């Protein structure tokens, strides 16, 4: 029921467009070849960003998105298409190495995500857990050096934005590699993603190595390709709901920009419809904090197993 109410509320809630000048800034958007990521890239280009990097698995689709942005904005030599396959840790490493050679990175938007109805393993973990959580977290930690360099060298505050859907109350103590219902499992991966965001924000602040704002944003239920591969009858249900209550990708993309321009009061916070939103109850209070620390420790252990020393970058 809350899923449907959130969808209806979002349909009739407007997110104001952002007007901040991005002159000289470098923006990276994962999953940037379509949907809200494409529209966010278009906005950043219109706002005078120096470079907008679309991190895509499919380079052909990425080039098509680049051409679309150039034709609609009239701006060339801004959008770049870089290969990134979150299903492969080596691809994440190669992409991060390339990013860390840049002079600056002002915004990292982790938008790429996966919703599948067939259980399979990717890099030893269930596919949605691997892509939505592990690879996203790995990439974020690997590019922290250039974000910190940007903060100190250019006297600015870089932003890390994690795009996610609202979380239904759930118990995530059980192993995520079990086989619950697909939507329940997807929901759990998004909750772990949110926990990662809040704990990373705290860890960066404690480190004192340069200020970076980290937040999570809910763009609303948008008419994007996320549900395209869902099987019957779910595809009919989702398509019907999106036709009635779905938000246009351009409107949803404004939420990503709101996160990218958020002030320090929103560090480690969750934003919905462009404004502050309370964290799920399961994350609140002493028990919630204990659970979040446990998940953070477990995820850190997984990341260290993939890339020894990666958590030291925090």
Q: Which of 195, 210, 77, 102 is nearest to 156 (CA)?
A: 210
d(CA 238, CA 236): 6
Cα torsion 20, 23, 27, 33: sign = positive
Is 9 catalytic? The answer is no
d(CA 190, CA 183): 11
What distance, in Å, lies between the first and last C-alpha atoms of the chain?
Answer: 39
- What is the DSSP secondary structure assignment for residue 134, as one 8-state letter? I
The residue from 190, 290, 294, 313 that is catalytic is 190
| Cβ-based neighbour number of residue 69 at 10 Å | 25
Q: 115 — phi, psi (to 5°)?
A: -130, 110
d(CA 140, CA 153): 20
Is 186 catalytic? The answer is yes
Per DSSP, the chain holds a count of helices (H) and strands (E) of 11, 10
Element (H, E) at 159: strand 159-163
The residue from 25, 66, 186, 188 that is catalytic is 186
- For residue 255, give both structure tokens: 């939420």
- Asked if residues 273 and 265 have their Cβ atoms less than 8 Å apart, the reply is no
- Sequence-distant (6+) residues with CB within 8 A of 13 are 220, 273
Catalytic residue IDs: 186, 190
């Amino acid at each position: 029921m809350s899923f449907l109410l959130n969808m209806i509320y979002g349909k009739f809630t407007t997110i104001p467009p952002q007007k901040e000048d991005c002159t000289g800034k470098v923006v990276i958007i994962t999953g940037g070849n379509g949907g809200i990521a494409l529209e966010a890239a278009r906005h950043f280009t219109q706002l005078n960003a120096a470079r907008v990097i679309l991190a895509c698995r499919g380079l052909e689709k990425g080039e098509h998105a680049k051409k679309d942005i150039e034709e609609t904005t009239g701006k060339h030599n801004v959008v770049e298409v870089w290969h990134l396959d979150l299903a492969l840790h080596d691809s994440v490493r190669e992409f991060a190495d390339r990013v860390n050679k840049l002079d600056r990175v002002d915004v990292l938007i982790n938008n790429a995500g996966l919703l599948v109805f067939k259980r399979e393993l990717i890099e030893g973990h269930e596919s949605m857990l691997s892509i939505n959580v592990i690879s996203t977290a790995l990439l974020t930690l690997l590019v922290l050096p250039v974000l910190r360099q940007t903060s100190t060298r250019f006297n600015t505050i870089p932003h890390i934005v994690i795009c996610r859907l609202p979380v239904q109350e759930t118990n995530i103590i059980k192993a995520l590699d079990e086989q619950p219902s697909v939507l329940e499992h997807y929901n759990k991966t998004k909750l772990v993603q949110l926990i990662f965001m809040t704990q990373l924000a705290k860890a960066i602040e404690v480190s004192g190595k340069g200020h970076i704002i980290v937040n999570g944003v809910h763009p609303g239920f948008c008419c994007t390709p996320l549900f395209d591969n869902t099987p019957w009858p779910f595809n009919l249900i989702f398509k019907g709901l999106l036709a009635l209550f779905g938000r246009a990708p351009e409107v949803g993309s404004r939420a990503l920009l709101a996160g990218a321009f958020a002030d320090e009061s929103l560090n480690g916070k969750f934003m919905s419809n462009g404004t502050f939103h309370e964290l799920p109850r399961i994350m609140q209070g002493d028990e919630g904090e204990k659970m979040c620390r446990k998940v953070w420790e477990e995820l850190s252990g997984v990341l260290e197993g993939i890339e020894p020393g990666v958590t030291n970058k925090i």
